Amino acid sequence: MADVRARIASRACPPGTRLPSVRAQAQAMKLSVSTVLEAYERLSAEGVLTSRRGAGFYVAGTVAPLALAAIGPKLDREVDPLWVSRQSLETDDATLKPGCGWMPTSWMYEEGVRRALRAAARADGSELTEYGPPLGLPSLRQHLSRRLAANGIDAPPAQIMLTDSGTQAIDLICRFLLEPGDTVLVDDPCYFNFHALLKAHRVTAIGVPYTPTGPDVEAFRAALEAHRPRLYITNSGIHNPTGAVLSPVVAHRVLKLAEGHGLTIVEDDIFADFESAPAPRLAAFDGLERVIHIGSFSKSISASMRCGFIAARADWMEALTDLKIATTFGGGRLAASIMLSVLTDSGYRRHMEAVRQRLAEHTATTIARLKPLGITPWLVPQAGMFLWCRLPTGVEAAPVARRCLQDGVVLAPGDAFSLSRSAGNFLRFNVAQTDDARIFTVLSRALAQAG
Amino acid sequence: MADVRARIASRACPPGTRLPSVRAQAQAMKLSVSTVLEAYERLSAEGVLTSRRGAGFYVAGTVAPLALAAIGPKLDREVDPLWVSRQSLETDDATLKPGCGWMPTSWMYEEGVRRALRAAARADGSELTEYGPPLGLPSLRQHLSRRLAANGIDAPPAQIMLTDSGTQAIDLICRFLLEPGDTVLVDDPCYFNFHALLKAHRVTAIGVPYTPTGPDVEAFRAALEAHRPRLYITNSGIHNPTGAVLSPVVAHRVLKLAEGHGLTIVEDDIFADFESAPAPRLAAFDGLERVIHIGSFSKSISASMRCGFIAARADWMEALTDLKIATTFGGGRLAASIMLSVLTDSGYRRHMEAVRQRLAEHTATTIARLKPLGITPWLVPQAGMFLWCRLPTGVEAAPVARRCLQDGVVLAPGDAFSLSRSAGNFLRFNVAQTDDARIFTVLSRALAQAG
């Protein structure tokens, strides 16, 4: 019985496997036929096996499905990427969310989205009901091509494919380039959902320390040599969670190292529209040779309509399109069309200017409000909504986050972003979500309890 | 040189691999150091290797990405699922598409979709710009729960998760339950994109012949015993491409066999709203124990807004949600809200009644128009848009499809749906797409050339 159980647990005998006949098993194990038969029948009574008349005994049950929560080290809920994502996504208007990764509704370009929806309601019928073409709405791809050119990225529309989101864009690239067991570099800290996404691909993520000007080049080199990764996923513009910006020198060095090691880089540029001065883009330096550039409109226009894109080398577009169709069929044509309406609306540019101004003001205010609590920014970001902050010495962010959550304040503790769990006394603040004074009262109380 | 090349081609030495030193290699191959060095340098000059000063020689280049088109047997374009999908998705209004899998815009509930969009333009701001909750819009999940109950499927809202499409729903389930190398049963013939999707998961698809009342039970049993599949993917309601309907007896037998073999079944119910009399559902018989029920609104409401759903056993919902968030983050809240508006619009029910009536009429007309061409239906379907037809004896569908495409008519040749390529003289017609008389003229001419 123990032998059969062990083989089932190790998945050497998956469900549906026919076990050796009683006679064969008895012979192999040098046991009597009746002993083996009794063992099989007891296991059948327990539901481990099923027997079919005249056909022998089979392994019962269903296969253990892929549970991301069971992969990797067991983490405290507060720093578990899966739980942090869920916590932000649960809609409860009473909760304050200084830890969440997007702006409140009141900061978004609501009137522009409404206008685009009204226009969509009058659109051609095919736009309302039919699948989009394989690469996605041509007019949005043309528009994106021009936008990318403004950032020095040369991507003709034929090298741009629309996806259903930025996350789906990275997911598609992972499917395209990775095999289970491969290694992928990420920044430490980085956007926490990268950790969850890479788990889903059953690859090993390795963190490279992030500095105020990009990844630590020496650590990057050492990681390339030690782990031979296939992919590096990063943000060049406004880095999540630190708000740092890649410097041209680091961009150059990273690309040189990547070239030497046959490494492909995914540059997630989701915060492009929040920049006050454009940061160097790896895709611009590289010319989309080994850099895949992705983006979406979830942070700037709407996360409620799903639309993202991939810009990649020409010879990869066919296979990427096949993979997209196989796994999602046609893309969301209407969402693409609404994004295009908003992007080309004259009010959008003005709106984003106002948002950038407002974010700059809120960054200053939030820093000032955190100071009396002994919370200091690692870096004062040039732009964006994120403030990566150090707590007073010796204070751990996870228990602080737990206490604040009890009082209805969702924080983002540093270790959720850190593969090495070396950001235990950091918190990421979203300055667009810190208007309510209660956040600072609750936080202050939680810190006092921690001290 | 040949030795190094072979190791690279076999992926034994992936890009970035450091080759043995010149000295070690010379010793191992019993060659002089200078011979090995020359070989390495020539390979470097060719770009196969790169050398780094003081650090030796490395395999250059990027990894071969996943090209679905390169997996499996090389097929004629006309019967290649990837190509057939693309062909239908390319938007060109001049093309006639009797082979396509959806209704023309003019048959869709356009006014209802427009009304829903206008309502959406007046919705609460958070609905327009924020991510949806992890499982998806609660009110749509409640509505779906009631709809499923009407078909005998007991799925409380907590067991329903929204996805971005029906295809994405199946894709998520494949990720959840399959590992590369697993085996999956599909119907032969079946919806061709299942073949492409399973390729993307690097699993082996095995076809089970489909009969007018469901899968051939004896072949199903034999496939279970021979291949120990993890999953079976099927349509119970209106089967694509045959239009057949599962019988209660076959449903019972399939479920009994599945139980005995620990098999999970995905029931894709995308055509539910087209049924005139409800077909037996595997999920209803089984009670969502080993059946996962999925659906979407692409065929009935809109394919331009992406929304689908999964109904599955309660203890799988957590892990499925984690997987969805990791790979797509929040779902499309606005699409879900628009689907709900349309589904609960009093006009929708009347519209679908009219569509069903119109499809029944067009089924009769199309059969009558195909008859003089010697094309006969395998089965006269009770409902739906598909007509699975046999060509005159000896006529192959693929070359006919090729000729018709030259004349601007896209057909769906049988072997695109058949894993065993045993449907070479079948075509699938969509009766909603056969109004234009030119289709029959073009087809007649192509058949005459084939004869």
pLDDT in tens, B97-106: 999 999 999 9
pLDDT score for A89 = 85
Percent of chain B with pLDDT over 70: 94
Average pLDDT over chain A reads: 91
Residues of A in contact with B332 (CB under 8 A): 164, 304-306, 332, 335
Q: Are strands B264-268 and B291-296 parallel, antiparallel or unpaired?
A: parallel
- In the predicted structure, residue A62 carries a pLDDT above the cut 70: no
Is residue B177 within 8 A of residue A65, CB to CB? The reply is yes
Residue B56: the pLDDT is 77
B82 to chain A, minimum CA–CA distance in Å?
Answer: 6
* Any A CB within 8 A of B51 CB: no
pLDDT, tens digit, for every residue of B247-263?
999 999 999 999 999 99
From chain A residues 276-305, the ones with a CB under 8 A of any chain B CB are 290, 298, 301-305
Cα separation, B238 vs B246, whole angstroms: 8
Q: Is B118 on the interface with A (CB under 8 A)?
A: yes
Q: State mean pLDDT over B206-210.
A: 98
- Please write the tens of the pLDDT for every residue from B411-434: 999 999 999 999 999 999 999 999
What pLDDT is recorded for position A181?
87
Model confidence at B281, pLDDT cuts 50, 70, 90, reads: very high
Is the model's pLDDT at A47 over the cut of 80?
Answer: no
Query: Which of 215-254 (B) contact A at CB < 8 A?
Result: 224-225, 228-230
Neighbouring residues of B35: CB distance < 8 A, sequence distance ≥ 6? B26
Each residue's pLDDT tens digit, B218-236:
999 999 999 999 999 999 8
- Across the interface, whether the CB atoms of B199 and A298 are under 8 A apart is answered no
How many CA atoms within 13 Å lie on the side-chain side of B323? 28
Q: Do A108 and B131 touch (CB under 8 A)?
A: no
User: Is A125 within 8 Å of B134 when comparing Cβ atoms?
Assistant: no
pLDDT band for position B241 (cuts 50, 70, 90): very high
Rg from Cα positions in chain B: 26
pLDDT tens digits, one per residue of B316-335: 999 999 999 999 988 889 99
Structure tokens at B86: 């693309």
The whole-angstrom separation of Cα B448 and Cα B442 is 10
Tell me the C-alpha distance between A440 and B12, whole Å.
56
Interface test with chain A among B17, B129, B268, B321, by most A beta carbons within 10 Å: B129
pLDDT in tens, B29-39: 888 888 888 88
Of B146, B135, B114, B109, the C-alpha closest to B333 is: B135
Residues of B in contact with A85 (CB under 8 A): 325-326, 329
Among the residues of B205-345, which ranges form H helices?
217-227, 248-260, 282-286, 317-328, 333-344
Helix ranges (H only) for A130-247 are 138-150, 166-177, 192-200, 217-227
pLDDT tier, A49 (very low <50, low <70, confident <90, very high otherwise): confident
Within 10 angstroms of residue B203's Cβ, the number of other Cβ atoms is 20
Q: What is the mean pLDDT of residues A297-326?
A: 95
Q: pLDDT of A321-365, one tens digit each?
A: 999 999 998 888 999 999 999 999 999 999 999 999 999 999 999
Between A82, A89, A175, which is nearest B66 by CB?
A: A175
Cβ-based contacts of B68 with chain A (< 8 Å):
319, 322-323, 326
Compute CA A344 distance to the chain's CA centroid, rounded to the nearest angstrom: 28
Element holding B127 (H helix, E strand)? helix B125-129
- At B331 the pLDDT is 81
Higher pLDDT: B244 or B63? It is: B244
Is the Cβ of B135 closer than 8 Å to some Cβ of chain A?
A: no
- Closest residue, chain B, to A191 (C-alpha): B326
pLDDT tens-digit profile of A190-217?
999 999 999 999 999 999 999 999 999 9
Residue A53 touches partner B, C-beta closer than 8 Å: no
Task: Report the C-alpha gap between B306 and B171 in whole angstroms.
Answer: 14
Higher pLDDT, B76 or B5: B76
pLDDT digits (tens, 9 = 90+) for B164-173: 999 999 999 9
Going by their DSSP bridges, the two strands A308-311 and A264-268 should be labelled as unpaired
Q: Which domains does chain B have, with CATH numbers?
A: 2-59 (1.10.10.10), 70-106+348-450 (3.90.1150.10), 110-346 (3.40.640.10)
Which chain A residues are closer than 8 Å to B71 by Cβ?
A: none
| pLDDT at residue B63 tops 60 | no
How many CB atoms are closer than 10 A to CB B338?
A: 29
**Residue pLDDT, tens place only, A213-246:** 999 999 999 999 999 999 999 998 899 999 999 9
Is the CB of B175 less than 8 angstroms away from the CB of A62?
Answer: no
Q: Between these two residues, B213 and B21, which has the higher pLDDT value?
A: B213
Identify which has the larger pLDDT, B52 or B407: B407
Average pLDDT of the segment spanning A154-163: 98
Listed in sequence order, the residues at least 6 apart from A266 whose beta carbon sits closer than 8 Å to its beta carbon are: A170, A173, A231, A232, A233, A234, A291, A292, A294
Strand partners, B49: B59
Chain A (346-385) residues lying within 8 Å, Cβ to Cβ, of chain B: none
- Within 10 angstroms of residue B81's Cβ, the number of other Cβ atoms is 24
Instruction: Name the closest residue on chain A to residue B175, using Cα atoms.
Output: A66
Chain Cα centroid distance, residue B26: 52
Q: What's the first-to-final CA gap in chain B, in angstroms? A: 54
Residue A14, pLDDT > 70, answer no
User: Over the stretch A104-152, which tens digit does the pLDDT of each residue have?
Assistant: 999 999 999 999 999 999 999 999 999 989 999 999 999 999 999 999 9
Q: Which residue has the higher pLDDT, B77 or A102?
A: A102
Q: Does A36 contact chain B (CB < 8 Å)?
A: no
Gap between the Cα atoms of A390 and A424, Å rounded = 9
- Element of type H or E holding B204: strand B204-211
B33: tokens are: 């150091």
* ipTM of the complex in this document: 0.87
Chain A nearest C-alpha distance from B449 (Å):
32
For residue A409, give the DSSP letter.
Answer: B
A105 inside 8 A of chain B by CB: yes
- Are B217 and B187 in contact by the 8 Å Cβ rule? The answer is no
Instruction: Name the one residue in this structure whose structure tokens are 């710009």.
Output: B129
Closest CB from A61, A126, A168 relative to B327: A168
Flag if A128 and B118 touch (Cβ within 8 Å).
no
Vertex A73: Cα angle to A69 and A77 (nearest 5)? 60
Identify the weakest region by mean pLDDT among A67-76, B139-148, B379-388.
A67-76
Cβ neighbours of B59 in A, within 8 Å: 262
A72 contact partners, CB below 8 Å, separation of at least 6: A199
CB atoms within 10 A of CB A314: 11
> Tokens 């003289």 identify what position?
B425
* pLDDT score of B330: 80
